[in-house]
A and B are shown apart, each in its own frame.
Chain A
């Protein structure tokens, strides 16, 4: 009797479950099995949002799919793109661009000198928003020479002009028909570009579909479409990858795939995992405007007290290479001969002794009765930074320094960066092609942590002036000399503890081919990708 009761109960429960679950149809992952797939599904934690190329609220990788620039940054330097060629006047202030004549926006509008000027003018009309980019401060005006030739006239001979024109934003071109009242700063009424992809569908916070531009002037995309699938949770992304719902993960600095997952996926061997060349530098800022870290001997000692090898191998799973300088020698103008400072606890101790910090009985150093205690702040969302901090805490304890670790919400972390209220803080360079010029240029802006960390330096005024000058130096050799001086000074001043050089990572299913990296870590070259069993 009792057995019957149980059976009845189980049956009824099962029935109620199945009633709720009725009508469910299994949905199949992207593409059909057996046929060659022509649509790639890319998972991103973020929606593409507003991809107006002249503003900053959209995802750069999506902006890059639709909108193009006059020139592009490549590993071999700047190359022609929408401009066939260019000439630079002798004084370095006028750039004459000859535009391609076979380029059309996807609404049929011709890309010509008028459209180019209209776009650059729209960017300049929103000057304040682009003030971070020195080129915007340097552009005087644009002249139309003929239907397919423009002159870009600068105030000074600003040397990074071409590479900054090639950035993903803001100097990209949108169809004049998309402008609202001749401008783009208040928004646009369509996302019509000249690029290899057309944004054909966008469901906010769900997905976006980019289809191949059939009338593209250059080499057409190999896939028919790319679906940009929004998945805010990392674990969901990994499960969706396992299920085959998505084909590609792509990103830098743990924003799309964290190092642990990357390593786990690599070890499983079911997917292809690749990493780009080093693209940006991860470093610790030492605040020269704070009492303890204001002493150059202390800052120098800290350079020797941190075991970077241990961080690169132990915490970052060997996915990043150890950095000896704040900018990698592979970055333009940064191959400067600088003293390498590796983990050497004895040297660190000697330097701290010399700075007057003597070891107490409790294993920590003291000076005038005050304990050697410094604080590092990190963004609490970033578990990697927490682990690096804990590792450094142990390193520093061996040198008699008490490192306090404070994880803060991103906004509070950024506020602290701006006000300079930190001893140590994390810093990530902007990566090529922003390094070195745009990144170094930002050292002069008080809202950046770099500025705050440097402000206590004796020669900060000189440094800022030097940075301003190097940007408009026309002679290549002199420019290199100036960079040497800047980088040597900042290296000797020990404001940065360079940790590692970060890389962009991609994980994808084996039938996907042609996955590579653009010069900028923020772009994804979907147009080269295709499926092949």
Chain B
């Protein structure tokens, strides 16, 4: 097991180098000259002299690989340079926005777990009842609706019409409910369905029959079924966590939530390359690490995975 973990961690290094290189390359392939962009965002007329001076200031006069190596070296020390817009340290900007996003994602995760487990179990127990059908109907619609639309609908209904929550902004616990609900809706749909289907499958397994023969109570049988049904959900959930964090972009904009999703969107609109690059690296790191953790958990549960990888 230890060897497996070491092997997996070593494997991350080339992946991360690959990701940083591709993101650096893609941004450099962009037709806009970063020096000019940096001038323009500060409303300085990009005359030739000003562009040349800015290129030097940003180190853009150096060859591509040299720039990449310098940037990579700095990134390892968590130094992503300064924003073109306000000249503040990108790491500081990211760190100050990150807690808001993590908070939002955490609440969304609690909602996902709470609602999808309850709904999934109920649907499985009462398979094909009207209630099951209604929940599945809601799930179907929930998966199909785009985030921004759900967000606005929830805002209109719960904030404007029913006056239960503020429309937007980060002000106390009540303000996180609507954005978290918006963010979690499609995941709730996925996990409810996953749990339901797995449980229904498990219901017909022999061990269920044996537990019933042993005279176990209904809830105890359900507990067994549930335990055996959530493994695939745990794997999926591991990958959903980075997706949740990366997926806050639209929700944060609609709900004026001051997280990194919004930071990234405004960076994209302003072509604030240092922030975009840092965001990509951070998200890549998040996905890779979560993937690793999921793999390790799966491997510890199932020895076959350790041997085959």
A contact set with B: CB distance below 8 Å: 2, 5-6, 8-10, 12-13, 16-17, 19-21, 23-27, 49-50, 55-57, 128-129, 131-132, 187, 203-207, 229-233, 235-236, 239-240, 242-243, 245, 410-412, 414-415, 418, 442, 445-448
Contact = CB atoms under 8 A, between A and B. Distances in A.
Contacts of A6: 126, 129-131
B105 interface: no
Nearest to B97: A205
A57 B53 CA distance: 19
B274 to A, nearest CB: 15
A98 to B, nearest CB: 32
Given A13-B122, A16-B114, A239 B47 contact: no
B280 interface: no
Given A233-B254, A235-B152, A447 B129 contact: no
Contacts of B171: 27
B229 interface: no
A78 B128 CA distance: 78
* Best-buried of B44, B45, B126, B271 by chain A (most CB within 10 Å): B45
B255 A236 contact: yes
A442 B129 CA distance: 72
B47 A231 contact: no
Contacts of B254: 233, 235-236
B14 interface: no
A57 B82 CA distance: 14
Contacts of B167: 236, 239-240, 243, 245
7 closest cross-chain pairs (CB), A and B: A9-B131, A56-B43, A24-B174, A205-B258, A6-B131, A240-B167, A231-B256
Contacts of A232: 253, 256, 262, 265-266
B151 to A, nearest CB: 9
B16 interface: no
B118 A16 contact: yes
Given A25-B172, A131-B50, A243-B159, 6 more contacts: A6-B130, A9-B129, A20-B110, A24-B164, A27-B174, A414-B40
Contact of A445 (B47, B53, B131, B159): B47
A74 B126 CA distance: 74
Nearest to B170: A206
12 contacts: A5-B129, A21-B177, A25-B173, A57-B86, A232-B253, A232-B262, A236-B155, A236-B255, A239-B156, A243-B160, A243-B163, A448-B45
Contacts of A231: 168-169, 256
A132 B255 contact: no
Contacts of B111: 20
B46 A10 contact: no
A482 B156 CA distance: 57
B32 A411 contact: yes
B86 A49 contact: yes
A24 B152 CA distance: 19
Nearest to B175: A27
Contacts of B168: 231, 233, 236, 240
A206 B169 contact: yes
Contacts of A55: 42
B269 interface: yes
A56 B38 CA distance: 12
B160 A57 contact: no
A241 to B, nearest CB: 9
Nearest to A381: B269
Nearest to A5: B126
A229 B159 contact: no
Contact of A26 (B119, B126, B152, B174): B174
A49 B263 CA distance: 13
B295 to A, nearest CB: 30
Contacts of A27: 165-166, 171-172, 174-175
B87 interface: yes
Contact of B269 (A17, A242, A410): A410
Nearest to A15: B118
Contacts of A9: 122, 126, 129, 131-132, 135
B166 to A, nearest CB: 5
* Best-buried of B44, B50, B156, B254 by chain A (most CB within 10 Å): B44
Nearest to B37: A411
Nearest to A126: B44
Nearest to A22: B173
B230 to A, nearest CB: 17
Given A16-B118, A17-B115, A128-B53, A26 B45 contact: no
A424 B290 CA distance: 50
Interface in B135-185: 135, 152, 155-156, 159-160, 163-175, 177
A415 B110 CA distance: 46
A301 to B, nearest CB: 33
A447 B48 CA distance: 9
Contact of A24 (B46, B86, B165, B271): B165
Given A5-B131, A21-B177, A26 B163 contact: yes
Contacts of B262: 205, 232
B10 to A, nearest CB: 39
A57 B40 CA distance: 10
Contacts of B172: 25, 27
